[in-house]
Amino acid sequence: MTISAYKQYLKTELSDLYTESESAFLSSLFIHKIVGFDSFQQRRFSEQNLLIDDEKQLCHLIAELKTGRPYQQILGETEFYGMTFFVDENVLIPRPETEELLEMAIREIQNVKTKGLKILDIGTGSGVIPLVLKKYFPDAEVSSIDFSEKALETAKRNADHHHLEVNFIHTDYLHFVLEEKYDIIISNPPYIGIEEEIDIADSVKGFEPTMALFSPTSDALIFYKKIAEDAKNHLKDGGMLFLEINQKLGPETLELYSYFSRAELLKDLSENDRFIYGTK
């Protein structure tokens, strides 16, 4: 099978699951991963026959995609904020909205302070938030909390891969008592309400950890209420808060931070209420 034939084969086999542009992206990504050819080489050598072992691996990837499994899990990694992160079934695959959250946080932090920062991330997952912040603010003391021990193992693997030091804390944040004060608190906690489960794609519910998606109680704001209480005593005066939120609960979430000197509800690139930015 040639490279061009494989691309056509993937498009045909996955026509019920992916658009043509999505299939083109996936075939290019897979060939780069297995064969090592970039997009230019794939075009230049499009009629070159694949090695038998490479062809077998590439066809296996198609079979995996047919199960609905996310391609990031199949490959075991994903690109996020210009960095490569390991992902598996124990962590939520990082979304573009979280890149927006980080872009905002980095910009606002750089406008105020970049040295001697103490940063707390709540809900580690694969570690993208604390590790990106540590990369951009290498002098910062970054801590990150997660309830899932397996998620923290993945996050530590990513930290080792990027040679970044983060203080990972294994605990149930909802019952955790903070002791220190922080310059920055940032979080993308589980915020999908139980009643919204019907709206979530099966490929997400079936392959990504529900613990990272859904609120553990009927109260979709439970994490935000705890963060609001903690920020009263553990976010320094003038400290900053950055949150990714449920788009259906924007005003209700913002109200929790009305005691801040400044608190804003901001939209993502899709014009959904998605972020809270506050200064205490």
Contact 16, 3 (CB under 8 A): no
240-276: per-residue pLDDT in tens? 999 999 999 999 999 999 999 999 999 999 999 999 9
CB atoms within 10 A of CB 99: 16
Structure tokens at 7: 């691309």
Tell which CATH architecture fits domain 90-279. Answer: 3-Layer(aba) Sandwich (3.40)
For the chain, strand residue ranges (E) read: 77-80, 83-86, 118-122, 141-146, 167-170, 182-187, 235-244, 262-267, 273-279
97-109: per-residue pLDDT in tens? 999 999 999 999 9
Residue 40, burial from CB neighbour count under 10 angstroms (0-12, 13-18, 19+): exposed
pTM over 0.85: yes
Across 136-174, b (16+ Cβ under 10 Å) vs e yields ebeebbbbbbbbbeebbebbeebbeebebebebbeeebe
170-221: per-residue pLDDT in tens? 999 999 999 999 999 999 998 877 666 666 666 666 777 777 777 777 788 9
